[in-house]
Amino acid sequence: MTRPKRLALLGATGSIGRQVCEIVQRYPERFALHAMVAGRDRAALRDLAAAHPSAHTRLATPGDGDPEAAAAAIDELVRDPEVDLVVVAIAGSAALRPTLAALEAGKDVALATKEVLVMAGDLVRQRMQRHHSRLLPIDSEHSAIWQCLWGEQRASVRRLILTGSGGPFLRRPLETLSAATVDEALQHPRWKMGPKITVDSATMMNKGLEMIEAHYLFDVGYPDIEVVIHPEAVVHSMVEFVDGSVKAQLGVPDMRLPIAVALAYPDRIPDIVPPPDLTAIKALTFEPVDPQRFPALALARTAAQHGSVATAVLNAANEEAVAAFLRGRLGFTRIVATVQEAVAREPRSVAEDLEAILGADRRARQFVRKVSGADSDILERRLPA
C-alpha cells in the first residue's frame, strides 16, 4: 500500500482549513498533516496540533517576532521535500508569497484562495510553467469546471458558465441595500464560510474574483466566461462545448466535496457527502445577473480588461473595503463604489513583476484606508491614552 499523501495546510484555523483537517482525520490511510500554518490564532492552532501531533506548526503573525522571519519559515515549510501537496486556504493576499514559494519548489498546490490568482495570475502561471507545478482548484465552481473538463480537449470548449446563489440580498428591495448591516450580509442562505468571502458573496464581488480565477486556471478568455444566478446552489458550474453540449457538476452545497476532490486527485473518495436529492429539490432555476443590484461583476470585467495592475488593485481595494465594512467604517453599497474609485485611479497596464503588483496593492490599500477613515484608526492606536 502507498503511504498517505503529506499535506502542508496554510490557513488551518479557518473555515476551509478546518474542513481539510476533518477529512485528514476521517481518512488517515490517505492523508497526513505534515505542517499547519495559521495567521494569529495561537490557541486554535495549538488545539489543532493536539489532534495532529506529527504536524509542524507556525503562526504567520506571531505578534512578538520578526514578520519576515515568520514568512521565511513558512516558505521553508512549503518547500520541505517531505510535503506532497500544499493546501492554500489563507484568506486574502497573504496567501500569495507562500503559494509562489510552493510552485517554485515544484509542488502541487490545492488552491482555495482565489485572491492569489486575481492579484498575480500571470506570475503564478509563469511559475507553474517554469517549475512544472500544478494548481488543483478547491473553490466549488472551479472544481465543478475542472471535473467537467476531465477527458476533454481544450479546443472543444466554447464557454464556461459560473453559477452563483445570489447571496443574502438577491431579493432585497434595491433602495434598502445601502442600509444593509454586517449581520445581514453575513447570513448566507446556502454556504457557511469565513467573513470576507461571505461579504464578497453578498456584493457578488466573489463571482467577479471567480471569473478572473477561472480565466487563469482554465486559460479561457473573459468574453467566454459567463455568470448566472442559481439560487438552489446545486449546479456548481458548467462547461459549454463547441457541439452545443453542456456539462454540469451537481452536489450538495458542502465544501468538503471539492476539498476532497482536490486532495485525492485523481482518485475519488467514497461517501464524502450524500448526493443531492433531486426529487426533493424539485426545481433547479437560473436567472441573469441584475447589473444594478450587483455592479461588482461589471467592475471585475473592466479591471480584467485593464490588465494585471487593475486586477491587483481590485483585489486589494476590495479586501480593505470589506474589512472597513466589517468594522462599521463603510456602508454596504460603498464597498463596490470605493473599489471602483480605486480601479479608476490606476492607468491601464500589465504588471511586469511582483514588485509592480505589490506597489499597486499598496496604493489601493492606502486609498481605501484614507476614504474609510481606517488611517485615523491607526493614528488613534498610536496616540497615548
Residues at the interface with ligand NAP (CB under 6 A): 11-17, 37-41, 60-61, 89-91, 94, 112-115, 139, 191, 193-194, 196-197, 255
Comparing CB distances to ligand NAP, the nearer of 113 and 340 is: 113
Whole-number minimum distance, CB 255 to ligand NAP, in Å?
Answer: 4
Comparing CB distances to ligand NAP, the nearer of 254 and 341 is: 254
The number of beta carbons lying within 10 Å of the beta carbon of residue 283 is: 7
- Strands 246-250 and 235-241 turn out to be antiparallel
Comparing CB distances to ligand NAP, the nearer of 16 and 257 is: 16
| CA-closest candidate to residue 169, choices 296, 41, 310, 345 | 296
Comparing CB distances to ligand NAP, the nearer of 132 and 187 is: 187
Whole-number minimum distance, CB 362 to ligand NAP, in Å?
Answer: 16
Whole-number minimum distance, CB 184 to ligand NAP, in Å?
Answer: 18
**Letter string b/e over residues 307-322, b meaning 16 or more CB atoms within 10 A of that residue's CB:** bbbbbbbbbbbbbbbb
Whole-number minimum distance, CB 60 to ligand NAP, in Å?
Answer: 3
Comparing CB distances to ligand NAP, the nearer of 75 and 384 is: 75
Comparing CB distances to ligand NAP, the nearer of 40 and 348 is: 40
Q: How far apart are CA 301 and CA 222, in angstroms?
A: 7
Whole-number minimum distance, CB 204 to ligand NAP, in Å?
Answer: 13
| CA-closest candidate to residue 309, choices 104, 123, 57 | 123
Residue, CB closest to ligand NAP: 14
Whole-number minimum distance, CB 248 to ligand NAP, in Å?
Answer: 18
Comparing CB distances to ligand NAP, the nearer of 193 and 239 is: 193
Q: Is 104 exposed, middle or buried (0-12, 13-18, 19+ CB in 10 A)?
A: middle
Whole-number minimum distance, CB 113 to ligand NAP, in Å?
Answer: 4
Backbone angles phi, psi at 164, to 5 degrees: -140, 145
| CA-closest candidate to residue 56, choices 127, 122, 7 | 7
Whole-number minimum distance, CB 166 to ligand NAP, in Å?
Answer: 16
Comparing CB distances to ligand NAP, the nearer of 68 and 175 is: 68
Sign of the four-CA dihedral 370, 374, 377, 382: negative
For residues 324 and 372, the answer to whether their CB atoms sit within 8 Å is yes
Q: How far apart are CA 312 and CA 324, in angstroms?
A: 18
Query: For residue 2, what are the CA distances in angstroms to 30, 174, 355?
Result: 9, 56, 42
Q: How far apart are CA 120 and CA 100, in angstroms?
A: 10
Cell 446556502 found at? 190
